């Protein structure tokens, strides 16, 4: 019997095993992150979002991944230190995982299965640039790049998915979060 999304284990940055069930009753924004990406400044916006909405029940949960251009080469300790010193990150960080390919983490496989298509900018300069350099996703459902966002509702349903070049403060993201928090 396959595990439900909220029962798939992952390891937190502090080494403890966790599951989305640990955040039951919260709205969770899951983001694959990287320290050496042009989108890395989104950490600041994610921290602001977390500070502004955590009392209403929003959790930002970051999963470092080195799947895109080797932009997350650091160890878990280096990643944690970078996030803390450069962006004052207080939201939970998981240990580094793979978000695509043969070694995709089961949580990401389940997230993609639940929400195969991301809301994207049309046209997307990021997608065009990735495609130009042969770095675009192999399948339309793959995570496109660092900082793709999945929104999981209080009941554990995957409510939305946003392309990497849609920042955390985008009106579409904020509207989805508000709707989820009000549910």
- In this prediction, residue 159 has a pLDDT band, given cuts at 50, 70 and 90, of very high
Instruction: Of 133, 137, 103, give the one whose Cα is nearest residue 117.
Output: 137
> Encoding tokens for residue 10?
């992952």
Between CA 130 and CA 146 the distance in angstroms is: 12
Q: Of residues 37, 79, 93, 151, which has the active-site annotation?
A: 37
**Counted domains in the chain:** 1
Instruction: Of 26, 8, 25, give the one whose Cα is nearest residue 17.
Output: 8
Between CA 85 and CA 125 the distance in angstroms is: 30
3-state secondary structure (DSSP) of residue 158: strand
| In the predicted structure, residue 2 carries a pLDDT above the cut 80 | no
The reply to whether 83 belongs to the active site is no
Average pLDDT over residues 131-160: 95
Q: What is the rounded end-to-end Cα distance, in angstroms, of the chain?
A: 29
| In the predicted structure, residue 124 carries a pLDDT above the cut 90 | yes
Element (H, E) at 122: none
Range of the domain at 108: 5-182
| In the predicted structure, residue 1 carries a pLDDT above the cut 80 | no
3-state secondary structure (DSSP) of residue 151: strand
pTM of the model: 0.96
Q: 11 and 18 in contact (C-beta within 8 Å)?
A: yes
Each residue's pLDDT tens digit, 65-123: 999 999 999 999 999 999 999 999 999 999 999 999 999 999 999 999 999 999 999 99
Each residue's pLDDT tens digit, 22-56: 999 999 999 999 999 999 999 999 999 999 999 99
Between CA 146 and CA 144 the distance in angstroms is: 7
CATH of the domain at 169: 3.40.30.10
CA 160 and chain centroid, separation: 12
Length of the chain, in residues: 183
- Per the DSSP assignment, residues forming a β-bridge with 27 are 58
Cβ neighbors of 173 (< 8 A, separation 6 or more) are 149, 151, 160, 162, 166, 167
For residue 4, the model assigns a pLDDT of 87
């Amino acid at each position: 019997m396959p595990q439900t999304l909220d029962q798939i284990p992952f390891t937190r940055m502090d080494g403890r095993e966790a599951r989305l069930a640990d955040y039951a009753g919260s709205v969770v924004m899951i983001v694959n992150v990287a320290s050496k990406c042009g989108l890395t400044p989104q950490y600041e916006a994610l921290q602001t979002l977390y500070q502004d909405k955590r009392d209403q029940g929003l959790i930002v949960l970051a999963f470092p991944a080195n799947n895109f251009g080797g932009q997350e080469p650091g160890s878990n300790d280096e990643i944690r230190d970078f996030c803390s010193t450069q962006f004052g990150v207080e939201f939970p960080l998981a240990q580094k995982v793979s978000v695509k390919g043969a070694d995709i983490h089961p949580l990401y496989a389940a997230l993609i299965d639940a929400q195969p298509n991301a809301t994207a900018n049309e046209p997307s300069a990021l997608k065009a640039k990735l495609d130009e350099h042969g770095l675009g996703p192999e399948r339309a459902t793959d995570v496109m790049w660092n900082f793709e966002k999945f929104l999981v509702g209080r009941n554990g349903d995957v409510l939305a998915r946003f392309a990497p070049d849609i920042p955390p403060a985008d009106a579409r993201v904020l509207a989805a979060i508000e709707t989820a928090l009000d549910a």
